Amino acid sequence: MEDAAGEARSARDVLRGVMHRAGDVLFPPRCVHCGGVVDETAGGFRHLCRRCVALIEYVAPPHCTTCGHPFFGVVEGERQCPHCEGLEPAFGEGRTTTLFRGPVRALVIELKYHHGLHVLHDIEAVLRRSEHVLEFVRGGSLVPVPLHARKARERGYNQAELLAEALARAAGGGTRIEALLRRVVDTHTQTAFDRKTRMGNLKNAFALAPGASINPASSYILVDDVFTTGSTLNNCARVMRRAGAVNLRVVTFGHG
């Protein structure tokens, strides 16, 4: 019976693959950034064309040890970048995959505001090309930054949780996800605010999820889509610190 079920699943997978390729022939996928046609030369990307893939600005060392923003030129020792001045981070170290520009910005906007779950394939493809981030999270517990229940109902999902799932798949090595936090205050979008205003708006906005347990011996990595001022991640980190988290870091898909 198990062999028959396995054969049935394989047949369905083959059929889905054939239908997907046929759909691409009849309706070629369009790049979410420039609107151009995406073809097989895009290197495994389905929703970014080859030219836009080349525009992705991956972050690599040397970079800020707090937020992951790259340093340009010769840098000696560990340094904090201007983005983190005055942040007083409650977390240890941070990494980011890319700069939040061009095609990366288009992917995140499509996911967050246009119900674009289909772009998760390309987001994971970006993550898989960022080995310094994969090494950073491998084997740890990924903690997605939570959405308020109202916003989660409206959107239908939490993009930080989906990013954490993609990151866990890409990193492997026992990397897991723990939903340890909840958002208890329904704040307005923080996009237009500076750090001081964001910190005020987000004060006491997060708490431990019901039944959540923090293991001081575990390695926790907070996950969010974009690092802007660090206020959201820092408020989440403070909650986890108060609950007993010792080894606490952050990672974001984009920075900017």
For residue 222, the domain's CATH number is 3.40.50
- Of the chain, the percentage scoring pLDDT greater than 70 comes to 81
Q: CB–CB of 250/233 below 8 Å?
A: yes
Pick 226 or 72 by higher pLDDT.
Answer: 226
Tell me, yes or no, whether 44 lies in a domain.
Answer: no
CA dist list (Å): 39 to 7, 75, 129, 216 = 31, 39, 19, 48
**C-alpha dihedral over 65, 70, 73, 78, to 10 degrees?**
0
Q: Which of 19-28, 67-76, 224-233 has the highest mean pLDDT?
A: 224-233
Q: Is residue 36 part of a domain?
A: no
pLDDT of amino acid 82: 83
Q: Is the pLDDT of residue 146 over 80?
A: yes
pTM of the model: 0.84
Q: DSSP H helical segments within 57-156, as ranges?
A: 102-113, 120-128, 131-137, 149-155
At 129, the amino acid letter reads: R
Cis amide leading into 89 (omega within 30): no
- Determine the average pLDDT of the residues in 213-237: 96
Residues 23 and 117 in one domain: no
% of the chain surpassing 90 pLDDT: 71
pLDDT at position 15: 46
Q: How far apart are CA 142 and CA 218, in angstroms?
A: 11
**Residues 6 or more apart from 253 whose CB is under 8 A from it?**
96, 97, 98, 104, 108, 123, 126, 127, 163, 224, 225, 226
Give the pLDDT of residue 153: 94
Of 256 and 241, the structure prediction assigns the larger pLDDT to 241
Q: Which domain holds residue 183?
A: 55-255
Shared domain for 98 and 175, answered yes or no, is: yes
> Within this chain, do residues 118 and 26 fall inside the same structural domain, yes or no?
no
Q: Is residue 164 one of the residues assigned to a domain?
A: yes
Are 66 and 17 members of one domain?
A: no
* Pair 181, 67 in one domain: yes
Q: What is the pLDDT of residues 82-131, one digit of tens each?
A: 888 888 999 999 999 999 999 999 999 999 999 999 999 999 999 999 99
Residue with tokens 């959107």: 155
Same domain, 24 and 59: no
What local confidence, expressed as pLDDT, does residue 196 receive? 59
* 7 has a pLDDT exceeding 70: no
Same domain, 24 and 70: no
Residue 28 pLDDT: 78
